[in-house]
């Protein structure tokens, strides 16, 4: 773009995420068209400015979004539940020109435990308080997290395992009883705490049409399980960085002298 006052050469640039929300994006712009835009940034050489017509078209909304700080808490009402996320009409700030709410929660940010449907977690009309994550400049939204306002069950589980290891002494594995939640070729998933699942790795496991899996693990212990079974497992390893729990059958651990 050539800016008013700088006719010699183009010094403005509009990125694909900075065209007005709810329109045809950059395809609606034409050579020679005059537009208004907000300067978002200036290049290190001082010769190229990044522009946003979207911010100029909705200055109140942009000013509100720009004033938000990561980890601040926002309150609002669930306005719509969609297949791709949940819109929240915020108590503060202007309404969105296109969408049901300025706040938006992606499915992973709804809850720590897994769920089948977003309606299992929230409902339209429900009041919620969320943590602000970042601005979505493409849609002009405030990305929110509902689960960030709740205790992380994985960290609580990891702390409990560390405490049990310290109390039991080195070399003594923590034994738990859990429910089989999923059978896969790589192993059996077991729910060991509310919102926490671990994997019993199995090489070459095959799930039958009846939903059974019969496996022979690495220490030659045969186990026949179906989803919903209650089983005894030991915690082999907890990875805080990867948020993974590695398990073993309790009988296998006992047989191997652990």
Whether 170 and 249 map to the same domain: the answer is yes
Query: Considering the domain boundaries, does residue 2 fall inside one?
Result: no
Whether 159 and 144 map to the same domain: the answer is no
Query: Considering the domain boundaries, does residue 191 fall inside one?
Result: yes
Task: Report the distance separating Cα 127 and Cα 76, nearest Å.
Answer: 6
pLDDT (tens digit per residue) in 233-258: 999 999 999 999 999 988 754 444 43
pLDDT (tens digit per residue) in 58-113: 889 989 999 999 999 999 999 999 999 999 999 999 999 999 999 999 999 999 98
Among the three residues 149, 176, 200, which one is the final residue of a domain in this structure?
A: 149
Query: Considering the domain boundaries, does residue 3 fall inside one?
Result: no
Residue 90, helix vs strand vs coil? strand
Whether 132 and 226 map to the same domain: the answer is no
pLDDT (tens digit per residue) in 22-53: 544 555 666 666 767 777 667 666 667 777 77
User: What's the structural domain count of the chain?
Assistant: 3
Among the three residues 149, 175, 196, which one is the final residue of a domain in this structure?
A: 149
Whole domain around residue 31: which residue ranges? 12-57
DSSP-assigned letter for residue 29: -
Task: Report the distance separating Cα 24 and Cα 214, nearest Å.
Answer: 55
Whether 219 and 177 map to the same domain: the answer is yes
Query: Considering the domain boundaries, does residue 1 fall inside one?
Result: no
pLDDT (tens digit per residue) in 164-183: 887 765 556 789 999 999 88
Buried b (16+ CB within 10 A) or exposed e, 159-197: ebbeeebeeeeeeebbebebebeebeeebbbbbbbebbb
Among the three residues 117, 149, 181, which one is the final residue of a domain in this structure?
A: 149
**Which conformational region is residue 228 in: left (phi greater than 0), alpha (psi within -120 to 50 degrees), or beta?**
left
| Cβ-proximal residues to 169 (8 Å cutoff; 6+ apart), any chain | none
């Amino acid at each position: 773009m050539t800016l008013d006052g700088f006719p010699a050469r183009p010094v403005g640039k509009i990125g694909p995420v900075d065209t007005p929300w709810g329109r045809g994006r950059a395809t609606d712009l034409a050579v020679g068209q005059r537009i208004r835009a907000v300067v978002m940034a200036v290049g290190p050489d001082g010769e190229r400015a990044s522009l946003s017509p979207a911010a100029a078209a909705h200055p109140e909304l942009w000013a509100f979004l720009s004033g938000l700080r990561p980890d601040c808490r926002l309150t609002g009402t669930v306005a719509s539940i969609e297949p791709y996320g949940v819109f929240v009409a915020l108590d503060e700030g202007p309404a969105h020109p296109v969408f049901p709410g300025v706040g938006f929660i992606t499915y992973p940010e709804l809850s720590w435990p897994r769920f089948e449907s977003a309606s299992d977690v929230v409902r339209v009309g429900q009041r919620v308080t969320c943590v602000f994550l970042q601005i979505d400049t493409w849609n002009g939204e405030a990305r929110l997290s509902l689960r960030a306002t709740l205790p992380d069950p994985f960290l609580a589980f990891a702390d409990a395992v560390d405490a049990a290891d310290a109390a039991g002494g080195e070399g003594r594995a923590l034994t738990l009883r859990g429910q089989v939640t999923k059978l896969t070729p790589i192993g059996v998933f077991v729910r060991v705490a509310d919102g926490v699942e671990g994997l019993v790795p199995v090489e070459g496991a095959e799930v039958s049409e009846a939903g059974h899996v019969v496996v022979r693990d690495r220490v030659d212990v045969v186990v026949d399980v179906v989803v919903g079974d209650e089983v005894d497992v030991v915690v082999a390893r907890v990875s805080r960085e990867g948020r993974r729990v590695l398990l073993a059958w309790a009988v296998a651990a006992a047989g191997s002298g652990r």
